[in-house]
């Protein structure tokens, strides 16, 4: 059964267990998906509402892309658990261990990458969304931003165990760029909501 098909209680029980997976990466992806869903809700409370006809086409485009990002985050939640299980199935002296370590680093980076477009859309929602629903875009942004930061944290923890300097440098560069982009977009969302609230 996929994580998307489990009840919230079942998922939380699986995290709060002696099993190694699901762990931080999976949890971060699901938190990001929840934040994304909140942003989708803002679109739906804007489309078709009086006073928002001029942004309806844009809101429909944002809604479609947010749905894509939410599906991706759910897929990455599954993938993260899979790569961690794969890593745990290898012994430290196996050649496949390095490959598994890199995969276990690449997935949380992909989770962080999936969060950035959501924050970019939340910036649009903060400016143009239904004023009654815009605070939910803010809450969604807090969750997505937290998911991104948690994912980058996981990337860096995993990089400490990898002895391939070029791989480590590339991943660190990408993680830093994602962090920087996220900080800018998150700041825009919150400052817009606070200013216009």
Using a cut of 0.85, tell me whether the model's pTM lies above it: yes
DSSP 64: H
Range of the domain at 25: 21-196
**H-only helix segments in 129-161:** 134-159
d(CA 149, CA 142): 11
More confident site: 2 or 132? 132
Query: pLDDT by residue (tens digit) across 112-138?
Result: 999 999 999 999 999 999 999 999 999
CATH of the domain at 184: 1.20.120.680
Q: Domains in the chain: how many in total?
A: 1
Is 43 within 8 Å of 58 (Cβ atoms)? Answer: no
Query: pLDDT by residue (tens digit) across 65-119?
Result: 999 999 999 999 999 999 999 998 888 878 788 899 999 999 999 999 999 999 9
The reply to whether 88 falls in a domain is yes
């Amino acid at each position: 059964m996929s994580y998307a098909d489990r009840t919230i209680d079942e998922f939380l029980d699986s995290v709060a267990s002696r099993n190694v997976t699901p762990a931080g990466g999976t949890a971060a992806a699901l938190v990001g998906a929840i934040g994304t869903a909140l942003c989708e809700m803002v679109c739906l409370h804007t489309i078709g509402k009086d006073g928002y006809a001029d942004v309806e086409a844009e809101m429909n485009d944002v809604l479609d892309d947010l749905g894509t990002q939410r599906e991706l985050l759910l897929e990455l939640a599954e993938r993260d658990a899979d790569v961690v299980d794969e890593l745990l199935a290898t012994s430290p002296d196996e050649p496949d261990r390095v490959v598994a370590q890199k995969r276990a680093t690449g997935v949380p980076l992909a989770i962080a990458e999936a969060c950035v477009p959501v924050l970019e859309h939340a910036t649009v929602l903060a400016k143009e969304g239904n004023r009654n629903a815009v605070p939910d875009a803010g809450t969604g942004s807090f969750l997505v931003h937290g998911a991104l930061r948690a994912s980058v944290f996981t990337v860096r923890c995993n990089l400490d165990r990898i002895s391939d300097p070029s791989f480590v440098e590339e991943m660190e560069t990408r993680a830093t760029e994602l962090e920087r982009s996220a900080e800018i977009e998150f700041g825009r969302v919150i400052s817009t909501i606070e200013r216009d609230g």
